[in-house]
A and B are shown apart, each in its own frame.
Chain A
């Protein structure tokens, strides 16, 4: 089974497969790292803005809301990646038969 899979990929790996497994994760992680560092920089250099309430009458700051959305974004990106990897796998499985 392993040998068969290796045989499929080695000589002519699907471009989409390669992109999904090599380029896509790097791009997604790059975006997420930038997002997290942006949060870090804003927290240090724009602490007044980031520490102000996100709406009138609330004590919850913009930074807390931002952190919450970043966490959601990270989970969403992880799920998107899995969706893409699965799609690429299904495409690759179809192609030798077609």
Chain B
């Protein structure tokens, strides 16, 4: 009786919950006729309600540019660490890594080891100095001693080249997830994500984005932990037995415990490692988070907490991946035979949650995955809006002579434009293979943003000329080689063989960026180069000031 009442109540809630969804969708966007998962809807309603309250609360506190871009520098180290971890733990790193573990076993370790190292790089080399040198975007830090205008144009190019494809990939994933799980159409899912991210960022700025990330990160880590415990319970917490069962179940057998199923050659492996090591330290929405804390000490703390949370989550992902192999392979309810998971390998974690916790838990995990996408696109949108308004509008077009209000207006307008553009592009990419869109951001960040930021902080002889040539060469090579590589040339454009054999070209694009940056800096004998070298010591001192505290 109670169940009937509950279900009828939920049914009556359905039209209210998705009212926002239905309003902007055209009449032609028919809803998909699938059974609804009420647990997913309840979890999602709670998340949306909580985050809208957060946004309302944040909107009242967002009065200045500093509030909008950097949450008034008032976020604590621990909170920011959780938010950074939330930013980094996207749907790709949860659903994608579990799916990868399910397919390729051992080779997933390349991702896990590189991701962990990438956070050590951020903690030891980037976090404090970035916070002490910059204000709102990483271009602030790079342009302390280098020529501001060209550097800001380069940084904006790098930021937009990272943010836009990443945004589209996330929105396409959101549309697909909604289609598969919530009984709604792809169009509705994409429009909903676009609308929500625009609301979060336009009204709540960085304060709302940060707290949305914190809520989502807690939900994701909790959901992942429960899922891993569910798997371990089946094996009485015997990891050896879990591994043995995975080997027995997987069509590749013992090969899943050995390297080479996915990446057999050294160039692919090193390129992949470099993409993660450098890419993480060059992702603009992650870098921007370090400006939300009051000083370098808290920035260091943030990175340390993020490292610990992300490392823990990766261990959880490995357990979930092994559990997925054991419980999904050969299970006709969830696979079409062998490793062909219904809905694709990225659905492995979702199906596993249904096996371990039934429909209720599956609904929870699905809603968390969708919330993850929503939170990540908000962070991406904010970083893209910040680079347009702060770097391009205020720094380049107005040469620093605009008011806070003008800059904020441009920023909010950019968010709306990005929201609309993101939705339109995601609709355009419906049904397309978006793997390339997920590859691009890390490779570009590793080949442009990271080298320029690192060299500007640590190398005295680094000049504007070196930064510009290196940055643009890295950016062009990263984009160009990905286009002629297997992901685009073969999978998207349908050619037989790729012109460039590697999916991750980081070894070449990042290497070229560093090489060009070095060569064009050491051969730069201009007066400006000499002045930039002289300014290094002052910059070094400034990068240390403010972090004189325990972390």
CB distance from B145 to the nearest CB of A (A): 16
A61:B240 contact, CB within 8 angstroms: no
Q: Given A29-B120, A67-B112, decide whether A43 and B269 contact each other with a Cβ distance below 8 A.
A: yes
* Residues 20-78 (chain A) with a chain B CB within 8 angstroms: 21-22, 25-26, 28-29, 32-33, 36-37, 39-41, 43-45, 47, 50-51, 53, 58-61, 63-64, 67, 70-71, 74-75, 77-78
A67, B262: Cα distance in complex, Å: 17
CB distance from B466 to the nearest CB of A (A): 20
Contacts of B304 in A (CB 8 A): 78-79, 82
Q: Does A90 contact B (CB under 8 A)?
A: yes
* Residues 277-315 (chain B) with a chain A CB within 8 angstroms: 277, 300, 304, 307-308, 311, 314-315
CB distance from B480 to the nearest CB of A (A): 25
A21, B549: Cα distance in complex, Å: 12
Contacts of A94 in B (CB 8 A): none
CB distance from B404 to the nearest CB of A (A): 22
Q: Does B548 contact A (CB under 8 A)?
A: yes
Q: Does B265 contact A (CB under 8 A)?
A: yes
Give the residue name and chain of the B residue nearest to A39 (CB): B113
Contacts of A32 in B (CB 8 A): 117, 120
A40:B270 contact, CB within 8 angstroms: yes
| Choice from B269, B277, B458 contacting A44 with Cβ under 8 Å | B269
| Choice from B121, B239, B258, B308 contacting A61 with Cβ under 8 Å | B258
What is the size category of the interface that chain A forms with chain B?
35 or more
Q: What 0/1 pattern do residues 537 to 551 of B give for CB contact below 8 A with A?
A: 000111011111111
B544:A9 contact, CB within 8 angstroms: yes
Contacts of B113 in A (CB 8 A): 36, 39, 67, 70-71
A22, B264: Cα distance in complex, Å: 37
Q: Does B355 contact A (CB under 8 A)?
A: no
- Would you give 17 A-B contacts (Cβ < 8 Å), ordered by A? A2-B546, A13-B541, A26-B125, A28-B120, A33-B117, A36-B113, A36-B277, A43-B260, A44-B260, A45-B266, A59-B240, A59-B247, A59-B254, A59-B257, A60-B243, A78-B120, A86-B550
Give the residue name and chain of the B residue nearest to A7 (CB): B545
